[in-house]
């Protein structure tokens, strides 16, 4: 039987460095990243692709703000903005993927799915919004937006003196569309799903789907998706070839091969950078703990390195 892999594309797969974020730049970056996935397809893997949406959904929120202020266009809620980014980015990745497949003479269907992800409406994250999204405002603007929209703002981590809206980031519990995704990929289709971590929803007392102003960590949602569809392997593709113990310190050490127990130990010791590498490690551990065979963190261009010298693998050991 063919192996099934879920590949979570990091932000650099679409936007890099100080790029303006034009569609031409994003298409070029996406094409370069997707070229590296051809190796897995030729090796017989079926694949599901997930992706981030941070800069893109931030731009959508800024357009929201500008449209409302300048033209009195009603602003759309956050769940619609996330869905908007899922559709737009997914379409771009799908088109570039189709072109890459055509270049290599590979006949496969590609489909993008706007994905709903169930969360607990009583998740503690809703009492402590922490995920920064959207435009950076000065203090006066932030105070006005907080009054008008009942939003919460915190100092920007990128711009001293600036403020950004913060929203909750609840734990993903279930991928609503998992059966459809699994059916599609088992029939040989490449599926693009769970973009930006998916759209957070919950079920009310009538079992109706309701939305929440929140965002879900992309790697955690991708890991859950990999578990839900019984993937064999889970890849987090980022802008570094390795993860490091004590990154940036005199004791820095490259880590290439890790088992589950050692990775948990390093995590508990605070070895990995909080907010950057740590969530990716937790996502990989969750996949292994829930039955996955292998998790890998690496650059997309290292996928064809058969020695796995540039990959981090974590085999679960009871």
Residue 249 structure tokens:
């310190």
Asked whether residue 8 carries a pLDDT value surpassing 50, the answer given is yes
- Of residues 10, 12, 178, 292, which has the active-site annotation? 12
Report residue 313's pLDDT band, with 50, 70 and 90 as the boundaries.
low
Told to judge if 131 belongs to the known catalytic residues of this protein, a careful annotator would answer: yes
Could you tell me how many helices (H) and strands (E) the chain has, helices first?
9, 17
Told to judge if 11 belongs to the known catalytic residues of this protein, a careful annotator would answer: yes
pLDDT of residue 227: 97
pLDDT of residue 2: 86
More confident residue, 239 or 235: 235
What is the rounded CA–CA span in Å between residue 214 and residue 165? Answer: 11
Which residue, 210, 185, 183, 188, is CA-closest to 199?
Answer: 210
Q: How far is CA 189 from the centre of its chain?
A: 20
- Of residues 29, 177, 195, 218, which has the active-site annotation? 218
Asked whether residue 179 carries a pLDDT value surpassing 90, the answer given is yes
Q: Are 6 and 225 in contact (CB under 8 A)?
A: yes
With vertex at residue 26, the alpha carbon angle to CA 279 and CA 312, rounded to the nearest 5 degrees, is 35
More confident residue, 249 or 195: 195
**CA dist 244 → 223, 236, 299, 310 (Å):** 21, 15, 14, 12
- pLDDT digit string (tens) for 261-304? 888 898 898 888 766 788 899 999 999 999 998 899 988 887 87
Average pLDDT over residues 82-96: 97
Measured in degrees and rounded to the nearest 5, phi and psi for residue 61 equal -65, -35
Set out the domains of the chain in order of their start, with CATH numbers: 4-115+191-315 (3.40.1160.10)
- Of residues 135, 178, 280, 294, which has the active-site annotation? 280
- pLDDT digit string (tens) for 242-272? 888 887 788 888 888 888 888 889 889 888 8
- Of residues 131, 135, 178, 311, which has the active-site annotation? 131
- Of residues 11, 21, 67, 162, which has the active-site annotation? 11
Residue 22 has what DSSP assignment? -
Residue 264 structure tokens:
């948990």
- pLDDT digit string (tens) for 144-170? 989 988 889 999 877 889 999 999 999
Neighbours of 70 (CB within 10 A): 8
Q: What interhelical angle do 178-186 and 218-228 show, nearest 10?
A: 60
Q: Tokens 């993903």 correspond to what residue?
A: 172
- pLDDT digit string (tens) for 17-49? 778 889 999 999 999 999 999 999 999 999 999
Told to judge if 280 belongs to the known catalytic residues of this protein, a careful annotator would answer: yes
Average pLDDT over residues 135-143: 91
Q: What share of the chain is helix, strand, coil (3-state, %, to 5)?
A: 40, 20, 40
């Amino acid at each position: 039987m063919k192996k099934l892999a879920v590949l979570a594309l990091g932000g650099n797969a679409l936007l890099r460095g100080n790029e303006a974020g034009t569609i031409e730049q994003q298409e070029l970056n996406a094409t370069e990243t997707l070229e590296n996935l051809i190796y897995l397809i030729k090796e017989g893997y079926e694949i599901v692709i997930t992706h981030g949406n941070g800069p893109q959904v931030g731009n959508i929120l800024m357009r929201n703000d500008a449209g409302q202020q300048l033209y009195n266009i009603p602003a759309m809620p956050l769940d619609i903005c996330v869905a908007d980014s899922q559709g737009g980015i997914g379409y771009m990745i799908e088109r570039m993927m189709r072109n890459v497949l055509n270049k290599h003479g590979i006949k496969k269907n590609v489909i993008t799915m706007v994905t709903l992800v169930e969360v607990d409406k009583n998740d503690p994250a809703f009492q402590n919004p922490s995920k920064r999204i959207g435009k950076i405002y000065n203090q006066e603007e932030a105070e006005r937006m907080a009054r008008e929209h009942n939003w919460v703002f915190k100092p920007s981590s990128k711009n001293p003196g600036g403020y950004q809206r913060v929203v909750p980031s609840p734990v993903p519990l279930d991928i609503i569309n998992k059966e459809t995704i699994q059916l599609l990929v088992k029939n040989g289709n490449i599926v693009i799903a769970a973009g930006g971590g998916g759209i957070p929803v919950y079920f009310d007392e009538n079992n109706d789907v309701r939305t929440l102003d929140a965002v879900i960590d992309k790697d955690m949602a991708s890991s859950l998706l990999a578990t839900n569809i019984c993937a064999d392997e889970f890849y987090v593709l980022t802008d570094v070839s390795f993860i490091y113990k004590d990154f940036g310190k005199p004791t820095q050490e490259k880590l290439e091969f890790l088992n589950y127990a050692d990775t948990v130990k390093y995590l508990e010791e605070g070895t990995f950078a909080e907010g950057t590498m740590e969530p990716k490690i937790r996502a990989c551990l969750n996949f292994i703990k829930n039955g996955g065979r292998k998790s890998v963190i690496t650059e997309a261009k290292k996928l064809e390195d058969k020695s796995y010298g540039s990959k981090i693998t974590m085999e679960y050991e009871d």
